[in-house]
Amino acid sequence: MFLPIRDDNPHNTMPVVTWGLMALCVVVFFWQSGLDGRSAQLAVLSYGIIPADLFGTAELDPIITPLPAWMTMVSYMFFHGGWLHLGGNMLYLWIFGDNVEASMGSGRFLLFYVGCGVIAALTQSVAAPGSTIPMVGASGAVAGVLGAYLILHPRANIKVLMWLIIFITVINVPAWIVLGFWFLGQLVSQAGADMGKPGVAFLAHIGGFLAGLILIFKMRKPGVPVFGKRASRAFAVETRRASARRGGGSVPPSGPKGPWR
């Protein structure tokens, strides 16, 4: 198992917007989890993006469209399809969001995050304008954060957890490798995706990531450098026996299939 867990990139600011976005996503998810099955499905249909509604290519039942279609380009970012969906997005936002927020300030970061999420949604929607499958999830916006981080700190080291049978190994991997492989995975996955069926909206990830790559040049504070230096030695390894850290618990499965992002 390979899992990024944190970076080694210090900063001097409190990432209040990053924490606030994470908290809002968690609160909304707990609200979703408390709904019965039909109400939970209605919430996804109502607050997620439905391309056919956004572009007016199909008329939907008014009961599932309480918001104007354009507003769902923001609301969809705070809904998720299951614990794994939420957890993955929040982990990446926690690792990478603080440094990106520090580079531009809280106000600009909020605009950046929402802007990347909107661009991600439009990228997926334009490719399938007649789709009636709802899209929900923060990962289009989070992908923008990853793109910005790659420009700001490509040589920063990401501590990646590697679980190898009886050993837990934490290894420093340069951000350009971690994020480069992530983006390559999105491209390969999109090449094999069927846009007409429920599934992960890889095209939205790609759009959000590219938006972050570009917007960071305009939205970072004056004087904030790009392509920063590393703060620790790449590929340093820390190994511990897995048995010493083993514990109980389980991860619940993700929610119903759809273009959970």
Contacts for 45 with CB less than 8 Å, ≥ 6 apart: 64, 134
| 32 pLDDT more than 80 | yes
- Residue indicated by tokens 């080694």: 8
DSSP 230: P
For the segment 93-119, the average pLDDT, to the nearest whole number, is 97
220-227: long-range pairs with CB below 8 Å, 24+: 220/103, 220/104, 220/152, 221/103, 221/104, 221/105, 221/108, 224/103, 224/104, 224/152, 225/152, 226/151, 226/152, 227/151, 227/152, 227/154, 227/155
State the average pLDDT for the chain. 88
* Residue 124 pLDDT grade (very low, low, confident, very high; cuts 50, 70, 90): very high
pLDDT value of residue 164: 76
Whole-number Å distance between alpha carbons of 39 and 206: 31
pLDDT value of residue 118: 98
Phi, psi (degrees; rounded to nearest 5) at 63: -65, -25
Q: Which residue has the higher pLDDT, 234 or 187?
A: 187
CATH tag for 2-245 (out of 3.10.105.10, 1.10.357.10, 1.20.1540.10, 2.20.25.90): 1.20.1540.10
Contacts for 27 with CB less than 8 Å, ≥ 6 apart: none
Tokens of 214: 């570009």
| 5 pLDDT more than 80 | yes
For the segment 188-199, the average pLDDT, to the nearest whole number, is 83
pLDDT value of residue 50: 92
pLDDT value of residue 244: 45
Residue 2 pairs in a beta bridge with 162
pLDDT value of residue 259: 52
* Residue 165 pLDDT grade (very low, low, confident, very high; cuts 50, 70, 90): confident
- The DSSP line for 33-47 is HTS-HHHHHHHHHHH
Tokens of 68: 């104007």
| 230 pLDDT more than 90 | no
Provide the whole-model pTM.
Answer: 0.88
For the segment 64-91, the average pLDDT, to the nearest whole number, is 92
* Residue 196 pLDDT grade (very low, low, confident, very high; cuts 50, 70, 90): confident
Domains of the chain by residue range: 2-245
